Structure 1
Amino acid sequence: MTVMLMVDNRIRAERFLRTAVLVDDMAFGDSPDGVMTASLEGGLPELGNDSAGPRRLQADLEGGDAVVGTEALDAKSVISGFAALGITCAILPPEGPDLQGARNESILALAKTADLVVLDWVIDRVEQTEGGGSFFRLDTNLKLLLEVLSADRASGNRLRLVCIYTGHPNLSGIRDEILKKLGETASSVSLPVPTSAIDYIDFNGARVVLVNKSLRGPHVANESPDEEGEVVYKRVAESDLAAFAVGKFSDFVLTGTLPEAALGALTAVRDNAHLILRRFSSDMDPALLNHRALTSEAAAGEYLLELIADEVSSVVTSYEAGASIMADSRVEARIQELLDSNSAEVSSNHDEIKKYFLGRSSNIPKKDRGVGLLVPGSESDASNAVEVDNKFSVLSSFARDGASYGLREVAPILSVGTVIAPVGGDGQGYPYFLICLHPACDSVFRSGDNSRKKQFPFLEMKVVDDDSRNFHLIAQDRGSYVRAYAESLSFANLVGIDFRAADDCDSVQAVWQRKDARWCFEPTDTVKSLNGPHVDQFVWVGDLRTGKAHKLLQSIANLSSRIGLNEYEHLRIQAKDL
């Protein structure tokens, strides 16, 4: 990545990040009196032992004893560092063992919502004995880390940066301990195993970065082996912690054009949130409530959400960074970065490739799809480029992709553009898809509709088994991409299925199946499937973007409204025969 892009991304990250929380038992200097010493030759006490242990190690760089200091965290320097970047930072000490206590509940609540989470690793717990005495037990923040990552997984695998900021010198040991626990978690819930580098761990959309507190000795510019081959980890002072965390967030999240654009758009929404709130003022409540009285609870609610969504869309559209991200200079720099990472396989001339992607040439520099020029491995395996194209196609078609969302408080609602598929057997893919074409305004149940049941029209789409045929939809199915087609875009290809409204609202809502971790719609009666067996549940695949759903509706309407009569047809046929 060029220096220009790195600096620009760092600025984008600073503008986006708003909150941070740091958990450290030395936050307010509430440490025991006195100074303890421990021999380095015997090693550090194992984490979790019920014995007095070092709180902060200031190891003599030439060996000997490690002096355990009791100086407090410089909270003022930490807060000032974050404040200088426009980030609000809360600093809290933990309370009691096993994350019990009101203070720890607050810590968990903050950690789950903060943009940045910083955890001290070694935590001293004060334990009470049966005889009324007390002792110190050396513990870690591992449980808190796992709790935060677990909450992120339940909310759809949130992108998360956690920084382990510790005076403990054995960062490699800490990394291995975290890796072991995350590996056990991955095995128990069928997630990809965590991966790691020298100073960080990646797991299920989260990155855990490890860094030493700057207690004594010179700062180290980066992580590298010393003369004896041992890894020397970077040390960061409290005043530099904010800049370090923001830089790591930028390196983790802003890895290309799409995430840069998305982060810029989200920043624009955050910056203009007060304007949106001011526009939706309470003096218009009487008109909104009258709208509800004339329609229904669900219809008024959906209309209100559309108004808010349009307002947010307007803010994003007017955000000037959207255009600057696609400017020639930035695009050319990104192309060069991709070409450099794929230089061993791209045999074409780099200048010709740049001309093609910058719109200065219509000729693809080699006999392949254009995207293959920038995807590593495509020279030897074209499926890599196909995978990237399919992934972008799903993004282009689905406003909300079921494979990318976990358990949410708001269940999917059956309406125009909702894509469902029959629940198959273990390991079986979706045999077909159904796209709901019921107008949004008619997808709600009016007051007085005692049956609470309605028939919804769906367009049937079969899975393509021949890559050469045309298709109308690309969707995800158990980690792979499948294509589907409608035999005809006509009313004759529609199927009606009855669904019942949820008890607590005026619309048809999906039901969360915790065992299979998916949303499902349940029809009132079993439905005869296209492939034979009856179906009593449909998996929510996702919601199409409005334009995509309306395009399908428009195609069906155009075909149905076609006039099948040519008053001069007899003359045309007669002329052909002559």
Structure 2
Amino acid sequence: MTETVASHRHHVESAESYDDLCIRAAQEFLHTIVVVDDRATYGGGDEIAPLVAPESGALDEDPSEVQESVEIGSGASLDVGALTDASADLGLTCAVLRPTREEQHDGTLDKRLVKAAQRADVLVLDWQLNDEPRGQAALRLLADVVKDDEKGRSRLRLVCIYTSEPDLNGVYDALKQALDSKVKQHSDVDDPMRWLDCGYMRVVIYAKAGGAGSAMSTTAVEVYDLPNTLVKEFSRLTAGLVSNVAVASLAAIRQGAHRLLTRFEPRLDPAFLSHRFFEGGPESEELLVRLVADEIKSVLDGADVRRWAESTAVRMWADSNLPDQVDVTSKPTKVRFVSKEDLTSALLDSGPDRSFRVSNLKKSGDIFDLGSDLKPSITSILATTGSIAEELDYDFARLTCLARNDPSPFPHNRTPVLSEGTIVKIRDGSEYSYLLCAMPLCDSVRVGAGRAFPFVPLKSVESTKRYNLVALSPEGKRLYLAFSPNNHYDIARYTFFGGAGQVVTAQRRAVKGRDHFVFYDKNHKAFIWVAELRFQHAHRKLHDLGFAASRVGLDESHFLRMAKDK
């Protein structure tokens, strides 16, 4: 009984450290590794004959045969059986491509890898492939994958160069030059671990154990250790409380996919079509999407993914990221430091309308309320660099209130739909202003003939003023927007026509040299799409608007009016 219970312990309970916790989250998420190696073999690999001094008459041999023998003998082989077995032990699927020269040169390999990489989390490339020297094939394949990834944006990817090439510094330099401006950070010159951080993609270099020069390399990895190494490297892309919840959620969705499918059975098609017949297409299609989203939420609740950010995980984060003494100075004239233990306790025990008093390590007897002293945010003392605290707070606020704020979530020919919670930008004379669409969801569909959509003005203000919405402008600048329900009397209406789906859709247009999504009203006035509020935020804004517009004006005694404020 004890063993059964133990086997179902949550990873947060089993993790030995914060790094271990992040590795466990990454392993839950990772599914597929794709390897490209021309020396991939099952078993011990090809036997490589020792070099023999040429005999007289050797120059009469066919040069192509000599070259071929040299190429085949260059580099260590890759034991596919050991690699796939080690991957399976971690719950990973590993696909190995062993390209021929013809496949490299006629484009077959490039197309095949790009297709496979669309479903792969990790890509492993040998540096020397067949007859293309100096990593030419590997660099070309990497460029093709990166180009394809950029179409969808934000594609998490780990790329590992796993090679027997002795000059690993040369490999590193070639990769850095090829990736150029995509490289955001990189390893130091004297760092034996060679890596390149390209934002959503991380590139690492490891030597094949048994390959040329591997004895001199501190990064040589046995093939049976490669999957475990790749999991650790991938965790560097996702290591964080917030990202751990995200990757664990995706893992839970994958694991619960078949259960979800049993809820949405093909036998329900007639009932759905009957519903669609009476209710119309667009809202019926959206209903299915919302039902699937709700079912996914139940899957996440069942997997208890919130636990990846619970108190135990927070304590691990603090232990790994906070110094022993934390600078919490808010005024230059009042230097204050608190212990890691006190700050950790504050993170675990604080909450709404609660205070947490801590002691200043630099001044005996100075006990103060941490929350009051650092209002409205303590991000600056938790971030590795305090100067980016405002950026982090802004990005997290944007995450909480906006469903979309970037054209990239709309793949291929998809475009935004004008509906409740859509934020748009319009030209008002020589100035631009921002509006919030207040059309209820149920009235945003079945738009055939012209329909007037109500818009509430949003005031763009400085960050030092009062605001309750944030978004990036179409130009990528930070917006601080103030919504007031008292602006109900400033509501403006513009008439739009529905498209083929009986909804108002945006068109992709170039505005001042940049691609934007634009709605056009009946007078061809342009409304540039900015963002979409999350449903709850949009609904609350409309509720506040309706409440303000339905206030009951009442003449009453001044005496009574003042009495209620006692």
Q: TM-score, normalised by structure 2?
A: 0.79
Aligned equivalents of 1:142, 1:233: Cα separation in 2? 24
Tell me by how many angstroms 1:553 deviates.
0.3
Q: Confirm or deny that 1:353 pairs with 2:343.
A: yes
State the partner residue of 1:171: 168
State the partner residue of 1:114: 120
Q: Confirm or deny that 1:326 pairs with 2:323.
A: no
Q: Is the 8 A contact 1:153 1:406 kept in 2?
A: no
Tell me by how many angstroms 1:94 deviates.
3.1
- Of all paired residues, the percent bearing the same amino acid is 27
| Larger displacement relative to structure 2 (405-414 or 17-26) | 405-414
Q: Is the 8 A contact 2:252 2:303 kept in 1?
A: yes
Alignment equivalent of 1:25, drawn from 38, 43, 51: 38
State the partner residue of 1:338: 321
Q: 1:423 to 1:216 in 2, by over 3 A?
A: farther
Aligned equivalents of 1:238, 1:101: Cα separation in 2? 28
Identify unmatched segments of 5+ residues in structure 1: 39-50, 57-67, 127-135, 187-191, 221-225, 227-231, 528-534
Q: Confirm or deny that 1:85 pairs with 2:86.
A: no
Letter in 2 for 1:214: A
Residue deviations 1:247-278, cap 9 Å, x none?
A: 11112222x11011111111111110100001
State the partner residue of 2:259: 275
Letter in 1 for 2:159: V
Residue deviations 1:260-317, cap 9 Å, x none?
A: 1111111111110100001101121111101111122211111110111111112113
Q: Is the 8 A contact 1:498 1:523 kept in 2?
A: no
Q: Is the 8 A contact 1:432 1:484 kept in 2?
A: no
Alignment equivalent of 1:547, drawn from 531, 536, 544: 536
Aligned equivalents of 1:17, 1:94: Cα separation in 2? 25
Higher share of residues assigned helix: 2
Please show how residues 235-254 of structure 1 align to structure 2 within 5 Å.
235-254=220-239
Residue deviations 1:313-355, cap 9 Å, x none?
A: 1211332231x23332321221233322995787421233223
Structure 1 residue matching 2:370: 3-state secondary structure: coil
Aligned equivalents of 1:173, 1:36: Cα separation in 2? 26
Letter in 1 for 2:98: P
State the partner residue of 1:65: none
Please show how residues 270-419 of structure 1 align to structure 2 within 5 Å.
270-322=254-306, 324-340=307-323, 343=326, 347-350=336-339, 351-359=341-349, 361-362=355-356, 363-364=369-370, 367-368=373-374, 369-378=377-386, 381=387, 384-402=388-406, 405=409, 407-408=411-412, 410-419=414-423
State the partner residue of 1:132: none
Identify unmatched segments of 5+ residues in structure 2: 1-14, 54-66, 330-335, 357-368
| Larger displacement relative to structure 2 (357-366 or 201-210) | 357-366
Q: TM-score, normalised by structure 1?
A: 0.78
Structure 1 residue matching 2:197: 3-state secondary structure: strand
Q: 1:154 to 1:572 in 2, by over 3 A?
A: same
Aligned equivalents of 2:134, 2:126: Cα separation in 1? 16
Structure 1 residue matching 2:226: 3-state secondary structure: helix
Q: Is the 8 A contact 1:464 1:485 kept in 2?
A: yes
Q: Is the 8 A contact 1:268 1:315 kept in 2?
A: yes
Tell me by how many angstroms 1:510 deviates.
2.7
Q: Is the 8 A contact 1:445 1:507 kept in 2?
A: yes
Question: What is the count of residue pairs matched by the alignment?
Answer: 501
Q: Confirm or deny that 1:212 pairs with 2:184.
A: no
Tell me by how many angstroms 1:542 deviates.
2.2
Alignment equivalent of 2:548, drawn from 536, 554, 559: 559
Q: 1:485 to 1:345 in 2, by over 3 A?
A: closer
Residue deviations 1:87-138, cap 9 Å, x none?
A: 1111112353766344542221001221111111111248xxxxxxxxx997
Aligned equivalents of 1:500, 1:434: Cα separation in 2? 19
Letter in 1 for 2:123: V
Aligned equivalents of 1:108, 1:181: Cα separation in 2? 18
Q: 1:36 to 1:502 in 2, by over 3 A?
A: farther
Q: 1:84 to 1:116 in 2, by over 3 A?
A: same
Aligned equivalents of 1:423, 1:407: Cα separation in 2? 27
Q: Confirm or deny that 1:445 pairs with 2:446.
A: yes
State the partner residue of 2:149: 152
Alignment equivalent of 2:425, drawn from 421, 426, 431: 421
Q: Is the 8 A contact 1:52 1:137 kept in 2?
A: no
Aligned equivalents of 2:480, 2:134: Cα separation in 1? 57
Aligned equivalents of 2:413, 2:325: Cα separation in 1? 42
Residue deviations 1:529-574, cap 9 Å, x none?
A: xxxxxx5351x322211110011000001111111124x3377589
Q: 1:337 to 1:73 in 2, by over 3 A?
A: closer
Q: Confirm or deny that 1:10 pairs with 2:23.
A: yes
Q: Is the 8 A contact 1:419 1:542 kept in 2?
A: yes
Q: Is the 8 A contact 2:424 2:530 kept in 1?
A: yes
Q: Confirm or deny that 1:105 pairs with 2:111.
A: yes
Aligned equivalents of 1:319, 1:115: Cα separation in 2? 22
Q: Is the 8 A contact 1:22 1:89 kept in 2?
A: yes
Structure 2 residue matching 1:484: 3-state secondary structure: strand
State the partner residue of 1:196: 186
Residue deviations 1:346-384, cap 9 Å, x none?
A: 742123322322225432168323222212343xx5xx3
Aligned equivalents of 2:71, 2:24: Cα separation in 1? 36
Structure 2 residue matching 1:522: 3-state secondary structure: strand
Aligned equivalents of 1:259, 1:37: Cα separation in 2? 56
Q: 1:573 to 1:481 in 2, by over 3 A?
A: closer
Aligned equivalents of 1:508, 1:53: Cα separation in 2? 65
State the partner residue of 2:469: 473
Aligned equivalents of 2:325, 2:115: Cα separation in 1? 43
